[in-house]
């Protein structure tokens, strides 16, 4: 083993640069974040050879005093934190004081600045091969310009890991896009090899912000989303939420910000997936641009070298707030109504908001059951008694009798004499698969199986809401071996596991004895599921695996017990289905995410037949 030595400052900075400066986009990120933290309202970015040859960022921020220019390039030199307590209340994008020092160790750096209270601008030239940086007066407006030349010129092995110029530029553009989507108070101008690539003025109005979003994500993006805003105490969530029918194959249009910081957080991602879990088809990915704000003391941003991950003080509360808000917004979507461009919501109390969001599904679904017209979609030989028996066989979720009799048979049917403003009046079936209806706008087509599947699924979910999951005691307890950490968590979360149907006791450092399991599960399913739940609790502090499995079983049941293709319906039955759809949450998709409704306006029909030409 070699002798222990203290690393030279230059080598230490190069090692730090390995974490901070991965590619040109990393340099651009650090420079832009520093400029935004300095209060800049205009950022000009000039690039040559995708930033490898030159990166120049000019801002109109507060500037740097002459005597602090050298400190700006010193390792751990920062104006953003001063005491350990500041680490738990970070409100800036950068704060570590390593960026400029790391960059100057692998590139030639020029730093020019005029402080807003000074008369003369100064320039600092730093070259890794020189011992002392050179300081001289220059002409410069209020603000700062940082030039980074010949990136990795003294670490040629790092250059070999860079990709093509177009790939490196795409990384830079994606980084600028993420910052531009979260800082509408800042204007951007980007040039590459002397050519203007993209620019955007300051966007202070909703219209201007939408124009910026459209310029970055495509002109049709805003036609596929709804705008939402919810504020509850110190928590707020706003932005644009994509319609389920416009999900994509990739995650390239998913942007989530916490206090203006772009993050990729497992808790937040899980909350979004939960909201979309039964309205997006297959492996499609929803689109969204969401901004979450909370007290800076309730989130730790100092948990990852690139600051892309965060840790919340109460992650379960944050998860429930976001999931409930998004679930409520998606449940309120109607495929037959115009997309609302701005839907502000103000709820004064957090507990009230979460409870209210959780009750939306139950309330709307039960209202649909109580007010729905008659539906005789069951086979003639299937009596109400048979339906009740079917549901009794399915009552292992709650241990209570569930019945669809009320949903599947009512006394009388109102005759539809006028167009409904939503799905209209049915007039025919196509091959026993689709219902044809007309409303004031034109033609409506409904997949009757998919539509009925959603109705039954929502009714089952409503019936199960806020009821304890039924448990079954085991004659011979199961033994489950875990890690000691997971066993500790299972012991600590004993009450939480009981809520989802598991009664366990610990009898060694890494073993649990399972005494009761959810009645809906077999013993073969229970043990591996509990292991996964404990792993989730260890990593995320929460788990919805059991609830998701129960929902999957409900969805399968709803699919099997809905009307199927080639079933002949009367006009009364077809209209009863349409009226019930209009009162059912998420009726635009079945529980597998397939669309249930398609529409053709009169103008679209006219185009098909060249009318008016």
The tens digit of pLDDT for each residue in 134-172 reads 889 999 999 999 999 999 888 888 888 889 999 999 999
The rounded mean pLDDT for the chain is: 80
The pLDDT score that the predictor gives to residue 544 is 74
Per-residue pLDDT band for 5 (boundaries 50, 70, 90) equals confident
Per-residue pLDDT band for 10 (boundaries 50, 70, 90) equals low
Q: Does domain 363-465+558-608 have CATH number 3.30.1540.20?
A: yes
Architecture of domain 471-547: 2-Layer Sandwich (3.30)
Among 94-108, 497-511, 567-581, name the one with the lowest average pLDDT.
94-108
Q: Tell me which of 3.40.50.300, 3.40.50.920, 3.30.230.10, 3.40.50.10440 is the CATH number of domain 220-361.
A: 3.30.230.10
* Interval 19-32: pLDDT, tens: 678 899 999 999 99
| 467 pLDDT more than 80 | no
| Domain boundaries, given as residue ranges, for the chain | 9-199, 220-361, 363-465+558-608, 471-547
Rounded average pLDDT over 574-595: 89
Among 11-20, 150-159, 287-296, 303-312, name the one with the lowest average pLDDT.
11-20
| 248 pLDDT more than 70 | yes
pLDDT above 90 covers a percentage of the chain that reads 36
The highest-confidence range among 123-132, 300-309, 369-378, by mean pLDDT, is: 123-132
The pLDDT score that the predictor gives to residue 16 is 60
| 356 pLDDT more than 50 | no
| 337 pLDDT more than 60 | no
Q: How far is CA 65 from CA 30, 81, 119, 139, 254, in A?
A: 20, 18, 10, 14, 39
Rounded average pLDDT over 245-252: 88
Rounded average pLDDT over 544-553: 77
* Interval 417-449: pLDDT, tens: 455 568 889 999 999 899 999 988 899 999 999
- Return the closest-CA partner of residue 546 out of 488, 487, 496: 496
Q: What is the DSSP string of 236-262?
A: EEEEEEE-GGG-BSSSTTEEEEETTEE
Q: Name the strand (E) or helix (H) holding 426.
A: strand 425-430
Residue that wins the pLDDT comparison between 519 and 190: 190
CATH of domain 9-199: 3.30.565.10
Q: What angle do CA 453, 457, 463 make, to 5 degrees?
A: 150
Per-residue pLDDT band for 343 (boundaries 50, 70, 90) equals very low
The pLDDT score that the predictor gives to residue 181 is 95
Rounded average pLDDT over 13-23: 68
What phi, psi does 361 have (nearest 5°)?
-60, -50
What phi, psi does 333 have (nearest 5°)?
-70, 135
Enter the tokens of residue 310.
């965060």
Rounded average pLDDT over 282-295: 92
Output the 3-class SS for 305-364: CCCCCCEECCHHHHHHHHHHHHHHHHHCCCCCCCCCCCEEEECCCHHHHHHHHHHHHHHH
The pLDDT score that the predictor gives to residue 94 is 66
Per-residue pLDDT band for 82 (boundaries 50, 70, 90) equals low
The pLDDT score that the predictor gives to residue 106 is 86
The pLDDT score that the predictor gives to residue 359 is 43
* Interval 363-412: pLDDT, tens: 443 343 344 333 333 333 333 443 344 444 444 444 444 443 344 333 33
Per-residue pLDDT band for 40 (boundaries 50, 70, 90) equals very high
Are the CB atoms for 584 and 455 separated by under 8 Å? yes
The pLDDT score that the predictor gives to residue 406 is 42
Query: pTM, whole model, 2 decimals?
Result: 0.75
Q: What is the DSSP string of 84-118?
A: GGGGGS--SS--SS-HHHHHHHHSEEEEEEE-TT-
The pLDDT score that the predictor gives to residue 131 is 64
């Amino acid at each position: 083993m070699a002798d222990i030595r203290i690393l030279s400052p230059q080598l230490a900075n190069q090692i730090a640069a390995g974490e901070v400066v991965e590619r040109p986009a990393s340099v651009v990120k650090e420079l832009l974040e520093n400029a935004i933290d300095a209060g800049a309202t205009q950022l000009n970015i000039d690039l040559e050879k995708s930033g490898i040859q030159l990166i120049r960022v000019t801002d109109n921020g507060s500037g740097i005093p002459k005597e602090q220019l050298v400190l700006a390039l010193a390792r751990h030199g920062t104006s953003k934190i001063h005491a350990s307590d500041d680490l738990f209340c970070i409100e800036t994008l950068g704060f570590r004081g390593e960026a400029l020092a790391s960059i100057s160790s692998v590139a030639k750096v020029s730093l020019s600045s005029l402080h807003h209270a000074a008369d003369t601008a100064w320039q600092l030239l730093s070259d890794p091969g020189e011992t002392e940086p050179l300081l001289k007066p220059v002409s410069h407006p209020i603000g700062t310009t940082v030039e980074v030349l010949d990136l990795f010129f003294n670490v040629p092995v790092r250059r070999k890991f860079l990709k093509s110029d177009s790939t490196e530029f795409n990384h830079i553009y994606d980084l600028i896009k993420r910052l531009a989507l979260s800082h509408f108070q800042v204007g951007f101008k980007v040039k590459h090899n002397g050519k203007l690539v993209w620019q955007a003025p300051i966007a202070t109005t909703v219209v201007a912000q939408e124009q910026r979003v459209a310029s970055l994500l495509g002109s049709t993006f805003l036609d596929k989303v709804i705008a939402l805003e919810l504020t509850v105490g110190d928590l707020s969530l706003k932005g644009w939420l994509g319609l389920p029918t416009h999900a994509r194959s990739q995650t390239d249009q998913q942007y989530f910000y916490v206090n203006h910081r772009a993050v990729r957080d497992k808790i937040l991602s899980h909350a979004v997936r939960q909201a979309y879990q039964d309205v997006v088809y297959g492996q499609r990915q929803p689109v969204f641009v969401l901004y979450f704000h909370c007290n800076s003391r309730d989130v730790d941003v100092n948990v990852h070298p690139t600051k892309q991950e965060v840790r919340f003080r109460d992650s379960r509360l944050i998860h429930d707030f976001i999931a409930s808000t998004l679930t409520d917004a998606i449940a309120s979507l109607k495929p037959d109504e115009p997309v609302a461009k701005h839907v502000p919501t103000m709820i004064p109390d957090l507990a009230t908001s979460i409870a209210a969001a959780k009750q939306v599904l139950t309330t709307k679904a039960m209202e649909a059951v109580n007010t729905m017209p008659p539906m005789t979609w069951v086979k003639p030989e299937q009596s109400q008694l048979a339906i009740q028996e079917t549901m009794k066989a399915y009552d292992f979720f709650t241990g209570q009798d569930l019945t669809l009799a009320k949903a599947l048979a009512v006394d009388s049917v109102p005759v539809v004499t006028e167009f409904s403003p939503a799905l209209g009046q049915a007039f025919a079936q196509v091959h026993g698969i689709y219902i044809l209806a007309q409303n004031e706008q034109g033609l409506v087509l409904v997949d009757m199986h998919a539509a009925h599947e959603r109705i039954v699924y929502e009714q089952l979910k409503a019936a199960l809401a806020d009821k304890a999951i039924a448990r079954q005691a085991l004659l011979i307890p199961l033994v489950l071996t875990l890690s000691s950490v997971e066993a500790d968590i299972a012991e600590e979360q004993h009450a939480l596991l009981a809520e989802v149907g598991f009664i366990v006791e610990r009898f060694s450092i890494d073993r649990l004895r399972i005494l009761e399991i959810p009645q809906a599960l077999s013993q073969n399913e229970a043990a591996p599921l509990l292991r996964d739940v404990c792993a989730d609790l260890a990593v995320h502090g929460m788990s919805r695996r059991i609830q998701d499995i129960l929902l999957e079983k409900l969805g399968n049941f709803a699919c099997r017990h809905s009307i199927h293709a080639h079933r002949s319906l009367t006009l009364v039955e077809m209209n009863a289905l349409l009226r019930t759809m209009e009162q059912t949450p998420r009726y635009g998709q079945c529980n597998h995410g397939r669309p249930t409704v398609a529409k053709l306006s009169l103008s679209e029909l006219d185009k098909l037949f060249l009318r008016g030409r």
